[in-house]
Structure 1
Amino acid sequence: MGKMALEYILIIFLIISVIISFGIGANDETMAPLYGSRILNIKQILILAAIFAIAGAVLLGEGVAKSVGDKILLLDYEAPGIDQNAVVMTILISTAIVLILSSAFGLPISSTHATIGGIIGLGLLLGGGNGVNWTTILEMSMWWLASPIVGYTVTYGVVKLLNKRKLKNLKGFKDFEKSENKFSYIILIIICITAFARAGNDSSNSVGIVVGVGGDIDILWLLIITGLGLASGIIVLGRIVIKNLGKMTELRPSTAFAVQVPTAAVMLIGTI
């Protein structure tokens, strides 16, 4: 294949990756508790979310991207009938289609599940049962199952402790207000950490397979472009998701803190 053809293929890869990352950013609800608890206005939230989306993708995205790209497919790209570029293109397009259709029908779906599902499907098609690293899939699945359980357990415990502390130490409305103001600063930091970790995790969905089988491509530039795509999605369409989810439950800074502590911990540990 000529150099010009490879450049065209790379451009197509990048365009599809940007579309996927834009869609992921548009559906990012990480900052919703800040809106629900009225700690920041929507403009401030979007700027903050965009900054941490770019930073998280660039600084944390490489490890998860390599896990998605290198450790799931077990295909021999030298074998006849298996084209490396076609593999990347198929997975990127299938992921984009699933995300677009689910958004169009208002169906909540994980971009990670869509990406991993596409990789597994192609692995089975081209390599049968031996085309997929089932050990890696099992490890990922166990984490997917464990994370909501861990999140629920930790959130429940944090809420119990906070309520106990309030009943014991707070005396009157002024003390309550002071306590909530302190939590405003704490929750702001925790949500920024969550957004940072989530961007690192989500960036793998748009560039992971390109990193794994896309040939000699500079991963840093891929992650920068992905981060910009995430940020664009957040700024252009993300306000809708953030506002809708922020209005679903009226949160105080202290209750938002209880929700975000386990979320930040699970996301950061899983990404690293």
Structure 2
Amino acid sequence: MASTVATLIASTASVPPAQQFLWMLILGFIIAFVLAFSVGANDVANSFGTAVGSGVVTLKQACILASIFETVGSVLLGAKVSETIRKGLIDVNMYNSSQEHLLMAGSVSAMFGSAVWQLVASFLKLPISGTHCIVGATIGFSLVAKGQKGVKWSELIKIVMSWFISPLLSGIMSGILFFLVRAFILRKADPVPNGLRALPVFYACTVGINLFSIMYTGAPWLKSPRRWLACAHFRRLQASVC
């Protein structure tokens, strides 16, 4: 893939700069859609596999819910992760001296490699992580393009550590929650009333955590309304004091 992209770059050397890499942008959009399809085919199963397997929702309902909430989640909370993938793993400053096309070609190659492997894993019924795939693909093209100097190894170590910490913390939280549910709901003589009383608590905790995450680590465009509200509140306080 990388050699094919390099050949196409060489063949467009005489084209004006504004149009020289337009084909790469279009190709990137197409591969991005294929990558999104492959992520949905594999990662959504990680999110809804237990719900569908237990009979809580049907496969059709899971697909509808995933289409809505995976999109909303990526829009509201995906900015920080995208920023890390974009320039947190590799040193993008090394591509400033008329080598932006090399970064574009590497990013397209990384998306293509990640998409192919996720599709293969889906056919093999392997529940892999899309994040792991794109991180590995990005590191791979950077090593080929710039060697070890192009990789931010400290950030990579943090990401790899999170891969081991996340399952551990998830297992602990799941164990604690199931212990509480079993002790205070399932083992009661009539668990239905206790379960109905506990539902608002679970909903409130889930909504509260999501809102907190959106407000403090959400998309950059969400910060503008917060700044406007803060400034308006400050002006009201200033007017009341004066």
**TM superposition score normalised by structure 1:** 0.60
Query: Could you tell me how far apart the structure 2 residues matched to 1:8 and 1:123 are?
Result: 22
Query: Could you tell me how far apart the structure 2 residues matched to 1:26 and 1:44 are?
Result: 15
How many residues of Structure 1 are paired with residues of Structure 2 in the alignment? 194
* Contact 1:49–1:192 (Cα < 8 Å) also in 2: no
Q: Does 1:179 align with 2:194?
A: yes
Q: Does 1:69 align with 2:93?
A: no
Residue of structure 2 in register with 1:14 after alignment: 29
Query: Structure 1 residues 46, 183: closer, same or farther in 2, change over 3 A?
Result: farther
Q: Does 1:121 align with 2:140?
A: yes
How far off is 1:82 after superposition?
Answer: 7.2
Query: Structure 1 residues 154, 45: closer, same or farther in 2, change over 3 A?
Result: same
Q: Does 1:95 align with 2:110?
A: no
SS state of the match for residue 82, structure 2?
helix
Residue of structure 2 in register with 1:45 after alignment: 62
Structure 2 residue corresponding to 1:147, chosen from 166, 175, 180: 166
Q: What residue identity is the alignment partner of 1:112? A: T
- The structure with the larger Rg is 2
* Contact 1:49–1:195 (Cα < 8 Å) also in 2: no
Query: Could you tell me how far apart the structure 2 residues matched to 1:176 and 1:110 are?
Result: 36
CA shift digits 1:176-220 (9 cap, x unpaired) = 233345566776788899999xxxxxxxxxxxxxxxxxxxxxx99
CA shift digits 1:52-95 (9 cap, x unpaired) = 12211212222110111111112511277972322122111111
RMSD: 3.3
Q: Does 1:112 align with 2:131?
A: yes
Identity of aligned residues (%): 25
SS state of the match for residue 155, structure 1?
helix
Unpaired stretches in structure 1, ≥5 consecutive residues: 197-218, 221-272
Structure 1 residue corresponding to 2:76, chosen from 38, 55, 59: 59
CA shift digits 1:22-66 (9 cap, x unpaired) = 111122122334434444444333322211122112122221101
* Contact 1:52–1:192 (Cα < 8 Å) also in 2: no
Query: Could you tell me how far apart the structure 1 residues matched to 2:103 and 2:173 are?
Result: 43
Question: Larger RCO: Structure 1 or Structure 2 (Cα < 8 Å, ≥ 6 residues apart)?
Answer: 1
Unpaired stretches in structure 2, ≥5 consecutive residues: 1-14, 212-219, 222-242
* Contact 1:73–1:123 (Cα < 8 Å) also in 2: yes
* Contact 1:73–1:132 (Cα < 8 Å) also in 2: yes
Query: Could you tell me how far apart the structure 2 residues matched to 1:150 and 1:99 are?
Result: 25
